[in-house]
A and B are shown apart, each in its own frame.
Chain A
């Protein structure tokens, strides 16, 4: 690894940081560029910077200055959180860990030159590139909806203004109005997410608008924590929720955002709020980088490196890795394996065998939490499930409350682990 003229001149903030470390002038510090500042990217940037103690130059490219976590954004929709509770900034990654945080869009990747170009015009050089761009939506997956419809019919599957919009529309529903959700096909971000959201919408409507109705059109016959959610819907929101699976045409759906109608299996309904969660694919920069195969980016289970290019790693929702669900917890777990491998490659530090785990908590009603989780190991073929657990139906209120409190603790834990 040599510092050539291009590397030296090609970066802004990153170069400044390199010059500020006199002990490495004349030698090249390894350069890592991380694209995407969520559960995968922020964690990877923090761990590489923290554990390499300045030996690796880490640049994090993230367009937003305040990151709103998708996890717990349903609790905001339900009224259990305010938007500020799920917003996080990158100040400590810069001040406490020395990460160069660049608020810009990555628009190009040249894998042979090992450079990333930014919308603002800058070019960043890397020895290792980490892509953690989350998801984008598959065009045409819901007939009648495209991204220009997202104000009339929000997806609220990237948290922030979309979550605020959906919450406002639910709160603005007329008495006895209809909320519809178009649920996504597998695989998608946060498998319990749509169904926790239904609980949160129902929780709000039950007190504010108790004659309102909730319709879910779902292309899947089964979904995550199905028995737990259906138990909760019966126990707490009886008669409010109509889940329409593929047996009843839940997979034959179109929407008209101008008319605010939803057509399910030929039957058209006027709705007052409509949450379209389209089919998903890896965030676009993964495709631009040329590391996708179909909708997702295949990776090695041992270090999350791309099957296409060993100098590129893909984390979180965008990665096609095997058995782990697309969740913030998974992305955080994968980021630590990747960080350890990247640090080993660039500094010679010890690389430990990969290990992964995931837990997803969901809130059914006030102080009524459930969870599902598993641990995983790396195999040649994929990240493989080695066993897990799930909450049971019929659990005591005390246990459900403890599970909810645990989810609050986890939120503090993971966001501290991501942002310092």
Chain B
């Protein structure tokens, strides 16, 4: 996995019903910890919503890229078109070497080098079933941002101007080699992330510098622009 300045890994405690965890060969409880690397983008559990990536309840046995309510990248739509179904074998391929299974993958994820981690994570994902038996996880719950700030509707035109400062590093088309993609994020995720850099809870010197001179309105404007930068 990439190092320091990537996504902040959120370790949110989740109660797992021991009875629902049917580990095949991996340890699902250990897999829950590994899932911490995924939580920056993917939610699971009761009431999980799509975030930067789709929610992962009911992943096992499902056709790839098949949530109608999520805007998938072309790379994942190609998997759907060839009929790829998520199971132990395909998830192992994804987790071991995402760029080979999904050329052009937009995920900020380089693969899990440890085979035990991969087995444990697959066991955990299988065990969550439809997600109804576990608490929602994968969204930053304790961000401490005033709901009124989260509710600001950003001016996308202003955001387009401000975005010039972002796209010197973050590619406008969503490419993420070396620097994470910031396009097509849900507005709340974008706002939460920028506030975390501004307050210093997320640790990256460039992002902290950029965020510290953005006001609440400006962060909302950027979030509105990057949610749908093609329009």
Which residues of A does B touch, CB under 8 Å?
47, 329, 332-333, 336, 340, 350, 352, 355, 357, 359, 371, 373-375, 386-389, 391, 398-399, 401-403, 405-410, 412-414, 416-417
Contact = CB atoms under 8 A, between A and B. Distances in A.
A333 B177 contact: no
A410 B2 contact: no
A355 B165 contact: yes
B167 interface: yes
Contacts of B161: 340, 352
A251 B162 CA distance: 43
Contact of B3 (A359, A398, A416, A417): A398
A374 B213 CA distance: 11
Interface of B: 2-6, 157-158, 161-162, 164-165, 167-173, 175-179, 205-206, 208-210, 212-213
Nearest to A392: B205
A406 B173 contact: no
A414 B161 CA distance: 16
Contact of B209 (A340, A357, A398, A409): A357
A412 B180 CA distance: 12
Q: For the complex, would chain A's binding face be called helix, strand, loop or mixed by DSSP majority? A: helix
Contact of B171 (A350, A375, A403, A412): A412
A417 B2 contact: no
12 contacts: A47-B164, A329-B168, A355-B165, A357-B209, A359-B169, A373-B209, A374-B209, A375-B213, A403-B5, A408-B177, A409-B178, A412-B175
B168 A413 contact: yes
A405 B172 contact: no
Contacts of A371: 205-206
Contacts of A410: 168-169, 178-179
Contacts of A406: 5, 169, 178-179
A333 B171 contact: no
A401 B167 contact: no
A60 B103 CA distance: 35
B213 A416 contact: no
A386 B213 contact: yes
A412 B176 CA distance: 9
A375 B210 CA distance: 7
B206 A402 contact: no
A417 B205 CA distance: 22
A373 B206 contact: yes
Question: Which of B5, B164, B175 lies at the interface centre, i.e. has the most chain A CB atoms within 10 A of its CB?
Answer: B164
Contact of A409 (B173, B179, B205, B208): B179
Contacts of A391: 205
B163 to A, nearest CB: 10
Given A352-B158, A417-B172, A389 B209 contact: yes
A267 B168 CA distance: 46
A336 B164 contact: yes
A357 B168 CA distance: 10
B156 to A, nearest CB: 13
A329 B164 CA distance: 12
A401 B2 CA distance: 9
B175 A357 contact: no
Contacts of B3: 398-399, 401-402, 405
A387 B209 contact: yes
B168 A417 contact: yes
Nearest to A418: B168
Contacts of A412: 171, 175, 177-179
Contact of B177 (A373, A409, A417): A409
Question: Which of B165, B168, B206, B213 lies at the interface centre, i.e. has the most chain A CB atoms within 10 A of its CB?
Answer: B168
Contacts of A375: 209-210, 213
B2 A402 contact: yes
B5 A414 contact: no
Nearest to A386: B213
A374 B178 CA distance: 20
A371 B206 CA distance: 9
Contacts of B208: 389
Nearest to B171: A413
A350 B206 contact: no
Contact of A407 (B171, B172, B178, B212): B178
A194 B167 CA distance: 27
Question: Which of B165, B170, B205, B210 lies at the interface centre, i.e. has the most chain A CB atoms within 10 A of its CB?
Answer: B205
Contact of A417 (B158, B162, B167, B210): B167
A371 B99 CA distance: 28
Nearest to A408: B178
Contacts of B206: 359, 371, 373, 389
B179 A357 contact: no
A405 B169 CA distance: 12
A371 B157 CA distance: 31
Contacts of B205: 371, 373, 389, 391
A399 B4 contact: yes
